Structure formats: structure tokens, C-alpha cells
Amino acid sequence: MHQVVGAPPFDAEPVEVGVARPGERLTNPIHPADAAAACAEALGAPSGTSIEAGGPETLSREDIVRLAFRAVGREARIVHVPPALLFAAAWALRPVNPHVGEFVQFGTAAFTHDFVAPSRGRHRIGEHFRAPARA
């Protein structure tokens, strides 16, 4: 069987995806077009004005992973990774590759807290994931 490079093998087994435990932390990702509109608004606002902007839907990290895989016709098997293990990995990586260590530390901190901003966007993340999958 010939497969296009980058195309998902739709008959493959579910893919295991690690998510920092418990995976229920919430966020409302914002589409780049909606973020650009908020930035344009901020440019016209008085100095020192803070504009908070989030997408129209609040989802858990697990919901986002499932939507991404569903967009390409795959199933994700979610594996919960203890945050302490991720922080330990970040600490161990710092002497070898400080940037990667900092990235893992930041990602772990971000994925173990809720980050929900006031909804200003109108683009939904599921549609964002499906657009490239249809191309």
C-alpha cells in the first residue's frame, strides 16, 4: 500500500498521548485571527490598557487532544503523566539542554493550571484542526 508522506494511517491503532495528570485543567484557546483582532483593539486603547482574550469554548487539555485526533480520523489513547515526573525531567534536562528543560518546565506548569480568559473569539478549535485535515 502506498501512503502519502505525512498522511495518517487511518487503519492504525490508537496513538498514546501523554497529558499531565489529571488532564482536566481548562483553557480557552484563541484562534490567531481572533488574537490579531484583540491586538488591533489594544493598539487603539489608552496606554496601560490590558485586554484579555480567549476563544469561545472552554475545554480540558484532554478535550483538545481528542479534537485534534478526531480531525484526522484517529483515536488518541490518553496516558496521564504525573506532573512531578515532568518537573523532574525538566530539571534533568537543564544541564544538557537548558532551553528544552525550560520549555518542559513551562509546559508542565501551564498544563497543571487553568488558563481561561474572557471569550472574545469566534473561531472554534475543532474547526481549526479540521481545516488542514481536509486539505
DSSP for 22-83, please give it. T---EE----HHHHHHHHHHHHTSPTT-----B-S--EEHHHHHHHHHHHTT--EEEEEE-H
- The amino acid present at 19, given as its one-letter code, is V
| Contacts made by residues 38-44, CB under 8 angstroms, sequence distance 24+ | 38/120
Residue-wise pLDDT tens digits, 106-134: 988 888 889 999 998 899 988 888 887 66
Residue-wise pLDDT tens digits, 26-85: 999 999 999 999 999 999 999 988 899 999 999 998 999 899 888 888 888 888 888 899
Q: Which residue shows C-alpha cell 483553557?
A: 27
pTM over 0.85: no
Q: Tell me the residue length of the chain.
A: 135
